[in-house]
Chain A
Amino acid sequence: MAATSTNPENRETPGTGTTGGAATPTTPTRRGTELVLLGFAAVVVTCALTLVNLNQESQPTNQILYYGLAFLALFGLAHLAVRRWAPYADPLILPLVAFLNGLGLVLIHRIDLGNAAEAERAGETFNPAAPSQVLYTALGLVLLTLVLLLVKDHRTLAKYSYTCGLVGLVALALPAVLPSVIAPNINGAKLWIKLGPLSFQPAELAKILLLVFFASFLVSKRELFTTAGRRFLGIDFPRARDLAPVLVAWAASIGIVVLERDLGTSLLFFGIVLVMIYIATERAVWIAIGLSLFAAGCLAAYSLFGHVQQRVDAWLNPMTSDAGYQLRKGLFGMATGGIGGSGLGGGRPSIVPYAENDFILAAAAEELGLLGLAALLLVYLLLTARGLRAALAVRDSFGKLLAGGLAFAMSLQVFVVAGGVTGLIPLTGLTTPFLAAGGSSLVGNYVLVGLLLRISDASRRPQQPSKPQPQQPPIAEAHTELVERPR
């Protein structure tokens, strides 16, 4: 897939790809490419599923072919929606997402098989995670279609920025303020809202809503941030009142750590705000200020809160600390996988607690090896790079900031999760986008991708000439004119 990503797209942006000398440049929609790539993703996912079944000692059946076709049909419908409502959208985004989601389903199914065998031995009942993940995939694709259908132009979102911001903040804070009956404390973090059989993690949606708010807010107040305040130690510091949004974001993220004990969302939230301010102002000093604030916040959180200390201890001493149990099991799994991996269905990923969500990357690393993990990370890089491409190419500032923020949000989330699982940084409670089991995460990320598709559609759509250029005669055809007779 990497080969198709780099070059050809650049030449198809409006105005650069005209080769036939036609009067109006036509941008190819590349929807055919998208369909072919979706088919490719379906083939890869079907093969992966076949491998799991073969390695788990059951015969390959026609059933698997039907699953593959159903997968292709599901994303085929999304493809049709893109064809209809965002015809110029980036043709790589949807296939990459389909690939990740499909492989995630295969991995979850595989871990289900392991957990089911273990539960059977122990005489317990077992609820597989894969069927609900299929359901959430369908729901996510419906929401993606709705985003494309309802948000005809991403700039309309800017009009609802304050609404988005308010709803986002409320959603973010909701689990913390709601009583434990509705918002139970799961694994030491209060992130979930449970209504009967339904459970939902509002932070996933809040992330996108707050992104919309910040993009709009920063674009409108851009000048304020670029004005320098006092000059101190050779650095232009912003005026104190202009620091307010950063301070608010910082305080909010600290609040998340304290009230919801969600280190991951806090880190993600603060990182996104920081990068968006940097993109909007083009001033690196904001990053420096933000990182110092973050470092101070981290130190304070470490010295004040036991659960933060526990996480850091687990990170530094995964082999000895009690809290490092999960990380330890994950690292053992990754080491067992080695370079080539045990093969899908050939490892023991279900030894790692919560392998199907928090630690799905460890499961992938065990069964697909370092090569598989590297491929997955590169797919994420590709996906987020396509998002950034849309940001670079789109013409309005709001679109640029929103797409940049969305792409970076996903990238940072992958970094935080993968870094945590592989022991690079302390473990936090974030999910791997599209790969991990989890309804709200999947649905939220489909909304995010819907917005990226919308913005990339806007960036590649041929621009309607707003006013016709006056036709000027070519210089070569202009007749000469005598200005002054030389003496």
Chain B
Amino acid sequence: MNKPLRRVAVAMMAMIVLLLANATYVQVIRADALRNHSGNSRTLYQQYSTPRGQIIADGKLLASSEPTGSERFEYKREYADGPAFAPATGYFSFVYGTGGVESAENEVLSGTSDSLALNRLQSMLTGQQQQGGNVELTLNPAMQQAAYQQLAGDGVRGSVVALNPRDGSILAMANSPSYDPNRLATLSSDDQQQAWNELSEAPDDPLVNRATSTLYPPGSTFKLITAAAALESGEYDYDSEVTAKSSIKLPKVDAQLPNYGGATCGTMPTAPLWEAMARSCNTAFAEVAGKVGEKKLRETARSFGFGRDLDVPMSVAPSSVGDIENQAQLYQSGIGQFNVRTTPMQNAMVAAAIANDGEVMKPHLVDKTLAPDMSVLDSTDSEELGRAVSPEIAHTIRDMMVKAEQYAGDEGKISGVQIASKTGTAEHGEGKDPHGWYVAFAPAEDPQIAVAAVVEDGGDVGASATGSKIAAPVARAVIRAGLQGGG
């Protein structure tokens, strides 16, 4: 019986060889496909097994990883003050991925960045747990909270962006309505799904970052660019006389373009350019735009950043002057109507450029990336996007904006601080309440903060809303928080 026994031995060996071959197939050849399979929760658990880095702003912890005690999800993402900072931090969800800085700086936060390779090796050798790097934002927490409270406290829809005009760092970027990223970072996929469905189906789009993604008609705030184009053309200066009519006929079409409330620009037939700016006279700036011409207007807008793709690190939708087919449309475009569309970020850049003697700085949100031990990996250098206008022209416009501030409402004014500003009230369709705008920088003589605020659809005032009524108080509160440390 030994012959069959030997054959059985061979069969047993063959069985083991078969098993080994199949195990090799699964664990080596097919391994990557299995690891990346959509149903494989292990890849996810891997992300949750090392503490993800912190997101910090001026010493305030915005996002952190807290141990859960669970083997599957060892750490949970937590957001302090979630809704206020959500436009900056974004979210970290195992069902819906990442957004905001969580997405843009994912490699640093998860610890997989090349710049953290040395740290990974170190923790591997010492047997310590691998950690993600940290990200320090440029946000000023007091300003950010003030911005969010101003919008959300009134229950209005809108957005605020505040920049440091000198280096382009983003001091505040708030939206209303916002969302709580904690709801998307829960450990229950059901809860995440419910939160996501609620947020994505909400009528007011809380998940949209209005500051960088929503394009609004800029209304009268665009007059800053029209004025810049006019001054650059050399045909105008601070005191150039422009029409003061309460209403003008648009060229070649049978339509009138009136001033706000049908008022004349002062008491004279003409008014100096600065007064037209201060009183926000539509008729004057429509004619100025018509004289300057489409080409010049577009050039100037482009020099302020219109039409550019920006990453701050979230991408900013390019603002645009829009198509202009005839003189009548040019007139309307000159006062920020017709097809002109701009993001709050772009409008803040306009204010910041004027504040910064005409130089446009690239806005940025990430100040530094840090290793787990808080040593600096990389810090963002301020970057010039280009010159919008000469310093002289910038100063001229600044002086106009100081005058304009005197004509704007008084609500929320800060004593002892001279603000340079421009309001805007943008109509955007028949029967809809206008959007209110306010772009400003302060202090006017030594600008530290440039801000743009937009409140949608008349805010809480309705059809009688103006930029100075609904947007100015919001932006002024943000400026106050920035200049007085939130007091």
Q: Residues of A at under 8 Å CB distance from B?
A: 114, 117-118, 120-121, 275, 278-280, 282, 319, 328, 331-339, 348, 350-351, 365, 369-370, 373-374, 377-378, 380-381, 384-385, 388, 391-392, 397, 400-401, 404, 407-408, 411-412, 414-415, 418-419, 422-424
Say if the beta carbon of B20 comes within 8 Å of chain A.
Answer: yes
CB contact between A373 and one of B27, B40, B72 (< 8 Å): that residue: B27
Say if the beta carbon of B268 comes within 8 Å of chain A.
Answer: no
Interface flags, B243-281, vs A, CB<8A=1, else 0: 000000000000000000000000000000000000000
Contact status A121-B69, CB under 8 Å: yes
CB-CB under 8 A for A328 and B5, given A121-B69, A415-B19, A424-B19: no
Contact status B37-A319, CB under 8 Å: yes
Contact status A332-B8, CB under 8 Å: no
Contact status A392-B27, CB under 8 Å: no
Contact status A385-B9, CB under 8 Å: yes
List 18 A-B pairs, Cβ < 8 Å.
A118-B72, A120-B69, A121-B70, A121-B71, A275-B8, A334-B26, A334-B34, A351-B41, A365-B23, A365-B27, A370-B24, A374-B20, A377-B20, A388-B9, A392-B5, A418-B19, A422-B19, A422-B22
| A362 CB, nearest partner CB in chain B, Å | 10
Residue of A nearest to B3 (CB): A282
Q: Is the interface of B mostly helix, strand, loop or mixed?
A: helix
CB contact between A370 and one of B5, B18, B23 (< 8 Å): that residue: B23
| B92 CB, nearest partner CB in chain A, Å | 20
Say if the beta carbon of B4 comes within 8 Å of chain A.
Answer: yes
Contact status A415-B5, CB under 8 Å: no
Contact status B1-A348, CB under 8 Å: no
CB-CB under 8 A for A419 and B1, given A114-B71, A336-B42: no
Residue of B nearest to A281 (CB): B4
Contact status A328-B18, CB under 8 Å: no
Contact status A377-B1, CB under 8 Å: no
Contact status A351-B12, CB under 8 Å: no
9 nearest interchain CB pairs? A335-B34, A335-B31, A117-B71, A370-B27, A415-B15, A424-B22, A121-B70, A411-B12, A279-B4
CB contacts between A and B, total, < 8 Å = 135
| B411 CB, nearest partner CB in chain A, Å | 52
Contact status A351-B31, CB under 8 Å: no
Number of chain B interface residues as a range: 35 or more
A253 to B129 CA separation, bound complex (whole angstroms) = 52
Contact status B1-A334, CB under 8 Å: no
CB-CB under 8 A for A280 and B26, given A118-B72, A377-B20: no
A419 to B69 CA separation, bound complex (whole angstroms) = 35
Interface flags, B46-81, vs A, CB<8A=1, else 0: 000000000000000000000011111000000000
| A355 CB, nearest partner CB in chain B, Å | 12
CB contacts (< 8 Å) of A419 on chain B: these are 18-19, 22
Say if the beta carbon of B295 comes within 8 Å of chain A.
Answer: no
Residue of A nearest to B35 (CB): A335
| A87 CB, nearest partner CB in chain B, Å | 25
Contact status A377-B5, CB under 8 Å: no
CB-CB under 8 A for A374 and B15, given A392-B6, A401-B1: no
| A7 CB, nearest partner CB in chain B, Å | 16
Contact status B39-A348, CB under 8 Å: no
Contacts A282-B3, A400-B5, A424-B22 given; 6 further ones with Cβ under 8 A?
A: A114-B71, A335-B35, A370-B23, A381-B16, A408-B8, A412-B15
CB contacts (< 8 Å) of A351 on chain B: these are 41-42, 45, 72
Contact status A278-B27, CB under 8 Å: no
CB contacts (< 8 Å) of A418 on chain B: these are 19, 23
CB contacts (< 8 Å) of B31 on chain A: these are 334-335, 338
Residue of A nearest to B6 (CB): A392
Say if the beta carbon of B197 comes within 8 Å of chain A.
Answer: no
CB-CB under 8 A for A339 and B72, given A331-B34, A388-B8, A404-B8: no
CB contacts (< 8 Å) of A381 on chain B: these are 12-13, 16
A348 to B73 CA separation, bound complex (whole angstroms) = 11
A114 to B74 CA separation, bound complex (whole angstroms) = 12
A412 to B15 CA separation, bound complex (whole angstroms) = 8
Contact status B40-A332, CB under 8 Å: yes
CB contacts (< 8 Å) of A348 on chain B: these are 42, 45, 71-72
A328 to B37 CA separation, bound complex (whole angstroms) = 10
CB contacts (< 8 Å) of B117 on chain A: these are none
A408 to B11 CA separation, bound complex (whole angstroms) = 9
- Report which residue of B15, B40, B70 has the largest number of chain A beta carbons within 10 angstroms of its beta carbon: B15
- Report which residue of A279, A331, A333, A422 has the largest number of chain B beta carbons within 10 angstroms of its beta carbon: A422
CB contacts (< 8 Å) of B72 on chain A: these are 118, 348, 351
Contact status B1-A279, CB under 8 Å: yes
Contact status B16-A279, CB under 8 Å: no
Say if the beta carbon of B30 comes within 8 Å of chain A.
Answer: yes
- Report which residue of B32, B34, B71, B72 has the largest number of chain A beta carbons within 10 angstroms of its beta carbon: B71
| A155 CB, nearest partner CB in chain B, Å | 15
| A250 CB, nearest partner CB in chain B, Å | 20
A118 to B16 CA separation, bound complex (whole angstroms) = 35
A407 to B13 CA separation, bound complex (whole angstroms) = 12
CB contacts (< 8 Å) of B16 on chain A: these are 377-378, 380-381, 414-415
Interface flags, B297-318, vs A, CB<8A=1, else 0: 0000000000000000000000
CB contacts (< 8 Å) of A365 on chain B: these are 23, 27
Residue of B nearest to A393 (CB): B2
Residues in B168-188 with C-beta less than 8 Å from chain A: none
| B105 CB, nearest partner CB in chain A, Å | 26
| B336 CB, nearest partner CB in chain A, Å | 56
A331 to B39 CA separation, bound complex (whole angstroms) = 11
Residue of B nearest to A277 (CB): B4
Say if the beta carbon of B28 comes within 8 Å of chain A.
Answer: yes
Contact status A332-B23, CB under 8 Å: no
CB contacts (< 8 Å) of A391 on chain B: these are 5
Residue of A nearest to B70 (CB): A121
| A225 CB, nearest partner CB in chain B, Å | 12
Contact status A334-B70, CB under 8 Å: no
A86 to B12 CA separation, bound complex (whole angstroms) = 26
A230 to B467 CA separation, bound complex (whole angstroms) = 106
Contact status B9-A282, CB under 8 Å: no
CB contact between B39 and one of A328, A333, A388 (< 8 Å): that residue: A328
CB contacts (< 8 Å) of A378 on chain B: these are 16
CB contact between B22 and one of A280, A335, A401, A423 (< 8 Å): that residue: A423
